């Protein structure tokens, strides 16, 4: 796990443009499959103590990205797992794989609390979920002038291949101000912003 985190931290951040991108904000999640002709990249950034979670079924290729902030983490994990399973019917081969990225060694230990919540929530699932990438909290921490900061603030997931990479997003998608407003009002509701239907 530490080696995978080191590889991810060592990648320069790629700037991802709007074409084929579905950007996911805090308290949002999106799920799609390689059959989706409109979305080729799922991405999110601006994660400090937040964690970015990618869940993928290797058989169907169904993939979900969520930006977790620690509000009702167990429900969020159930929602994203069910969303991926809905797009993976009758899949005899493959497995569920999860990638956890984000957080740092913050003074208030918010990142560590969220890491623990996520691990506990995935462990409680009925489904077997294989942890592939674990680049969170102290494994995503760097110091600059004595101050702790995250190495990685954003990631992208290639919908076709499942590749996860360090990314930034100059364009954060449609209605960014409107989508961000619910966080400012304190709403704890998860927004399922996209699900590929195959139609």
pLDDT of residue 198: 63
Residues in the chain: 199
Q: How confident is the model at residue 179 (pLDDT cuts 50, 70, 90)?
A: very low
Domain locations in the chain as residue ranges:
2-172
Architecture of domain 2-172: 2-Layer Sandwich (3.30)
Q: Are 93 and 128 spatial neighbours (Cβ–Cβ below 8 Å)?
A: no
Q: For residue 160, what are its two tokens?
A: 């076709």
Mean pLDDT (the chain) is 90
Looking at residue 164, what is its pLDDT? 97
pTM of the predicted structure, to 2 decimals: 0.90
Helix (H) or strand (E) holding 132: strand 129-136
Q: What percent of the chain has pLDDT over 70?
A: 86
């Amino acid at each position: 796990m530490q080696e995978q985190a080191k590889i991810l931290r060592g990648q320069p951040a790629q700037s991802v443009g709007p074409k084929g991108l579905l950007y996911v904000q805090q308290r949002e999640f999106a799920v799609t499959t390689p059959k989706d002709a409109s979305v080729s990249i799922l991405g999110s950034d601006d994660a400090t103590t937040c964690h970015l979670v990618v869940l993928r079924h290797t058989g169907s290729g169904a993939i979900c990205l969520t930006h977790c902030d620690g509000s009702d983490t167990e429900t969020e994990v159930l929602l994203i797992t069910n969303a991926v399973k809905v797009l993976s019917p009758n899949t005899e081969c493959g497995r569920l794989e999860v990638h956890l990225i984000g957080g740092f060694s913050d003074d208030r230990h918010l990142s560590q609390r969220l890491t623990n919540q996520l691990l506990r929530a995935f462990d409680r699932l009925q489904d077997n979920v294989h942890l592939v990438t674990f680049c969170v909290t102290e494994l995503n921490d760097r110091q600059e002038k004595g101050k702790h900061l995250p190495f990685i603030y954003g990631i992208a997931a290639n919908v076709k291949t499942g590749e996860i990479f360090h990314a930034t997003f100059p364009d954060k998608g449609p209605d960014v101000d409107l989508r961000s407003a619910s966080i400012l009002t304190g709403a704890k509701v998860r927004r399922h912003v996209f699900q590929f239907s195959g139609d």
